[in-house]
Amino acid sequence: MNQPVIIYHPRYAEEYPTVYVECPERVMTIRDALAPYYQFIEPEPAAEKELRRVHSKRLIDSVKADASNLYQAAALAAGGAIRAAQEAMSGRPAFGLIRPPGHHASPDHHWGFCFFNNMAIALAGLLDKGAVQGAFVLDFDLHFGDGTDNYFTGDPRVTVFNPQRVTDRQSYLDSVQEALDRAAGVDIISVSAGFDIGEFDWGGLLATADFEQIGRIVKAAAERLCRGRRFALLEGGYYLPELGKNALAFCRGLFLGRPADHSERAKPGQGWP
């Protein structure tokens, strides 16, 4: 099995103009939880031509117009998403520990702490280059990923699934399983991972074990449909005491497909056995 990778850059922990809950500590706490077990890779910023696959010049220029480092931060997050998709295509499952998030950014407008749609940019590049003919996006963030949905609406090559209006844990997991069971013609599976659906976060629903189960469902579907090609990108998640633990559980499921023995310990960069 090709070793999984975490896509991360130290600049994701820098300050830029956003709301207080979308703080650098979000990626820092996840980084600290994942670092003992997985290899980290630093991405390059997305070029403007890559952003233009999804976004209008007007929107890109509006982000550039900010006098701070906002454009650089958002372009680096998009670059992290592109690198995660590339790693998945090479056979290495990847988690993009990126910031700012992106699933509320539509082609010509953005909101909800998002500036460029990282997921759409990554998949649009694969589709435009003919690397894939079909993709499945699972967005388990508490909030509907309207930007991703807006971009791919009408494109028969891409299915975007947001579990919504589910009020209990088992029904939520069942809805994810059923959606992936129905998937067909998929060359890659991608996940917008929003941990704000967690039981101690804003959503108040999923336990840590549920995030691991979602990862396992995705891994099994990827192995069945697309030779294991899969990657995930960080979206929401704001309750810091649980965030790293939940992200680690999800990565265990996504990468390994089975519950981890918590007494096991791996060497840095080697993942779990």
**Residue ranges of domains in the chain:** 5-256
What is the reported pTM? 0.93
CB-based contacts of 69, cutoff 8 Å, min separation 6:
14, 16
Answer yes or no: is pLDDT of 260 > 80.
no
* Phi, psi torsion values for 8, nearest 5 degrees: -155, 145
pLDDT of residue 265: 36
Spatial contact of 249 and 215, defined as CB atoms under 8 Å apart: yes
Q: What is the mean pLDDT of residues 162-180?
A: 95
pLDDT of residue 60: 98
Mean pLDDT of the chain: 93
Spatial contact of 119 and 30, defined as CB atoms under 8 Å apart: no
Spatial contact of 116 and 102, defined as CB atoms under 8 Å apart: yes
Share of the chain above pLDDT 70, in %: 93
Q: Is the peptide bond before 100 cis (omega within 30 degrees of 0)?
A: yes
The CATH class of 5-256 is: alpha beta
Q: What is the mean pLDDT of residues 173-193?
A: 97
Helix axes 169-182, 208-225, angle to 10 degrees: 10
